[in-house]
Structure formats: C-alpha cells, structure tokens
Amino acid sequence: MNIKTSDYAISESKSVKMDSFSTKYDGKLEKEKGLKLFDELLKKLQDLQALLYADGSKSLLVVLQAMDAAGKDSTIRNVFGPINPQGCKVVSFKNPNSVELAHDFLWRIHQNVPRKGHIGVFNRSYYEDVLIVKVKNLAPKETIKQRYDHINNFESLLNDEGTKIVKFFLHISKDYQKEQLQERLDIPEKLWKFTMSDIEERAYWGDYQNAYATVFEKCSLPKNPWYIVPAERKWFRNLLVAQVLVETLEAMDLKYPKAQVDPKQIVIP
Ligand code: ATP
Ligand code: MG
C-alpha cells in the first residue's frame, strides 16, 4: 500500500483552516510496513538524484517550514542523509544579518537556489518573510502584503528556468511542541538546541497558524504545491516526504545525456 500524496497537497488557491489538517497519521499503514517502504523509496531517491545530476538541465528545490521543534532537522537527516552530498546542499535561513537586511527579502535566497543537476534544501526560507516578519511586525504591513505576489512570481521564474519547487509544512500540535521542547530541556545532548526564543515564539502560536493559513491560501499552485505533513509520527513524516520527492523527480522527465561516443567503436588501448 502506497500513500496517496495528493491527499496531503494544496495545489490551488482556496480557503484553508489549519484545524482541518491532522498532525498525527492515523491511517491504515502500519509502522513496520512504512519503514520498509521508506527504505525502498530511499533507494529510488538515490537513483533519481544520480539521474538529475547526469541530466544536468534541471534542479529541485525543497522548502521545509514548521513551527519550532517540529522536526525539520531530523527530516533532513533521515531523508537527505543517504543521498550523494556532491549534488545536494542544505541551507538554513536564520535571522537575517545586517547585509541581508539592507537588500530585498529574496536577495539572500536567490543566490542559494540549487544549480542545475542539484537538489537544494531550504531549512526555513523566504516564507519567513511573511511568517515571523508578519507575526512580529518586522516590516510595514503594506510591504508584507505585496510579498505573496513576489513569492509567486519568484517561484514561477524558477519553474520556467528549470527549478522544480516542492514545499513541505511539518504540521504539529501545540501540545506536541511542548513535549518536544521539554525533551530539549531533559536530555543533556539536546539542551544546546533550546533557546528562549522557542518560548517567546510559542506564545504567538495562534498568530503563526493564521499566518501559515494565509501562505497556503495565497501561495499554492498546481506547479508549486504545498504539502501539509502530519509530523507527529516520525516514520510517517519521513515516508511522505520521501514519496513526494520520488514522485516529483519521476515527473521531471529526466534523461541521461546523449552519449558522445559509440562504445562499439572504441577499444581501450
Ligand atoms: P529549530 O526548529 O531546531 O529550533 P530553527 O530553524 O528554529 O531550528 P533557530 O536558530 O532556532 O533555528 O531559529 C532561526 C530563527 O530565525 C527562527 O526563529 C526564524 O523564524 C528566524 N528567521 C528566519 N528567517 C527570518 C527572516 N527573514 N526574518 C526574521 N527572522 C527570521
Ligand atoms: Mg528554533
């Protein structure tokens, strides 16, 4: 049994209610079977990445967004860890520095878009500029309002120039976040990850959920969909992300380049 990934996709502009998405997979697939499927998908992903690299005419950009402690890092480790690092780069977007703030919001983004043949993973992204920036009033309202169109145009530009974009929101509940943050406090090896900003941002939970709903309403297109991933069962989260990536790469019509020689004509001396 495979997952029907389209059940988790938003690919058109429509009204979105965050409560309507589940945060915890409760379907029929069992964990044991899911883990087996995940291993198979990772093999496919490795083959497809090699093909993307050889084809050399297109790239894949993976956008990962989530509330704090939802598991972005662990998703990256599990899904992208096994693939060839030569053709994959992860970029984490943090609080912009003064040089970045002295430019438009897409300036630091554009230079990190993956080159042809490569996979790029954005751990947070330009969507922060309509999420935290909106929730915390870090830019004028009018400026933020215009950014949804800028984002859609930017994504269209990338699409037209050969960069396929796939966007994931790792969806968790406020209670689950509490458990995860508590774990950071309780486990010595995880304590370094805890910052007071985790507590500060948690106080704006409702505002963030509304800001995310607006993102999904305004920035979901058939060619650039959002996937809302129920992220509280890690095995299912990894499986869904891997399957979407495999399906996306398969649909990219990648080909090995035409051979430059006829192997029958060549004798290695
Ligand atoms: P974790 O989920 O493990 O805590 P993280 O991605 O939250 O990882 P942090 O270093 O804790 O990493 O936080 C980065 C912070 O930078 C986030 O709070 C994020 O909202 C913020 N940030 C990212 N982009 C922007 C932006 N354009 N403007 C303002 N803040 C931003
Ligand atoms: Mg954080």
* DSSP class of 221: B
Per-residue pLDDT tens for 182-218? 999 999 999 999 999 999 999 999 999 999 999 999 9
pTM above 0.85, yes or no: yes
With contact defined as beta carbons under 8 Å apart, do 231 and 172 qualify?
Answer: yes
Pocket of ligand 1 (CB under 6 A): 68-69, 72-73, 93-96, 123-124, 128-129, 132-133, 138, 193, 195, 197
Tell me how far the alpha carbon of residue 22 lies from the centroid of ligand 2, in angstroms.
Answer: 22
Opening angle at CA 167, ends 61 and 69, nearest 5: 110
Q: With CA atoms as reference, report the closest residue to 91 among 101, 78, 80.
A: 80
Is the predicted pLDDT of residue 2 greater than 80, yes or no? no
